[in-house]
Amino acid sequence: MPQEELGYVELEWTCQNCGTRNPGARKNCASCGAAMHAQTQFELPAQPELVKDHPAADAAGPDVACPYCGTRNAGNATVCKQCGGDLKGAQARMAGGVLGAFDAAPQAAIQCAACGTQNPATALKCSSCGARLPRPKTQTAAVTPAAAPAPSIPRAWLIGGIAVALLLCIGAMFLVFRTSDTRATVDDVNWQRTIAIMALMPVRDATWQDQLPADAQVLGCELKDRRYSDVAEPNSKKICGTPYVIDQGDGFGKTVQDCQYLVQAPYCTFTRLQWTVTDTVAARGADLNPYWPALTLQDQQREGNRAEDFRVEFVSGNQRYTYNPATAQEFAKYQIGSQWVLKVNALGSVVEATRAE
């Protein structure tokens, strides 16, 4: 996903010796003079101010810590500014981490705990008494991508859902396949056979313009969102996520945002002639002699699907069962009054019928 650079913000760090908050560019604490510890992390200021270019003209990558005295030095320094020690091979500060979303909205003032003076969110010390000010309690904004993906399902929920579904399937299979034998008598039979009649009719549909069938009669098109692209294309608009700040390891953070282009394309409604079911003829009966209905086709018509349904009603005491033979040949066996042994599952459905001895 393309990343756009918006500018830089000066970070801040808190002195591990006295708790004073310091601007990111300072290498030593403004209050007690202690050097910034190599493990002390940079943080986003409560009120970040964006500048277009890196404030340090000689920006040379992450700062390095002197292996002798621990003083923080610029990344391109060769000797320590504090003790003069050789910085060859000195460990560079960690860089590249995302510190959070960039939020330029005005933040609430900070009240000095010592004298009660209200200070702007950017202040590190009280403007009235000079006391150090605590880091404001700000609500960190969430970093959202340019095109947010669909919410992911927690792994535990997914596994639990699969387990429940599996148990339900096992239970359903148990009910279906567990059967008992019941002796029953054929009490009634009926059948139905149908034939669909089809005709060429204009059917309305819609698709992207480049996927229109050759015989489509276009009714109209409109631009709709179709896909994302990393580069600008015709009929595209830029979609950017929340700006966020990346630690550069030198007291400054680079503010970037992830952007993509939402490409639109013509989406068209159209009609085309398709064979469509326009009517159905049927034949029905309550005997064992099914037949197909008479079919008369007009011009521009043709025969569609044929379907048949056979039903046998059994009675056993005060209980009734329905069975559906698969073919006319099987259906013909079920004479009214004949005796059968039915295999009935726990759901009350007949899964098999065998002629009684």
Using H for helix, E for strand and C for coil, what is the string for 108-143? CCEECCCCCCEECCCCCECCCCCCECCCCCCCCCCC
Per the CB < 8 A criterion, the answer to whether 99 and 43 are in contact is: yes
Q: Which residue shows structure tokens 């059917």?
A: 203
Extended strands (E) in the chain: 3-10, 12-14, 21-23, 64-65, 72-73, 98-101, 110-111, 118-119, 179-208, 217-229, 236-240, 244-247, 252-285, 301-316, 319-323, 339-345, 350-355
* Domains parsed from the chain with CATH numbers: 177-197+280-355 (2.40.50), 200-271 (no CATH)
- Dist CA 81 CA 74 (whole Å): 9
The gap from C-alpha 318 to its chain's centroid, in whole angstroms, comes to 54
First to last CA, the chain: 75
Composition of the chain by helix, strand, coil, percent to 5: 10, 45, 50
- Dist CA 303 CA 145 (whole Å): 55
Residue 110 confidence (pLDDT): 87
Residue 120 confidence (pLDDT): 87
Residue 139 confidence (pLDDT): 46
Per the CB < 8 A criterion, the answer to whether 205 and 268 are in contact is: no
Q: Residues, the chain, total?
A: 357
Residue 244 confidence (pLDDT): 96
Residue 43 confidence (pLDDT): 94
Residue 58 confidence (pLDDT): 67
- Dist CA 141 CA 150 (whole Å): 20
Residue 202 confidence (pLDDT): 96
User: Which amino acid makes up residue 3?
Assistant: Q
What is the sign, positive or negative, of the torsion defined by CA atoms of 268, 274, 279, 283?
negative
Per the CB < 8 A criterion, the answer to whether 224 and 295 are in contact is: no
Burial class (CB in 10 A: 0-12, 13-18, 19+), 48: buried
Give me 136's structure tokens.
């404001």
pTM: 0.62
Residue 178 confidence (pLDDT): 77
Q: Return the half-sphere exposure (C-beta side, CA atoms, 13 A cut-off) of residue 117.
A: 15
The gap from C-alpha 283 to its chain's centroid, in whole angstroms, comes to 51
| Residue stretches of the chain with pLDDT short of 70 | 57-58, 137-158, 160-161, 167-177
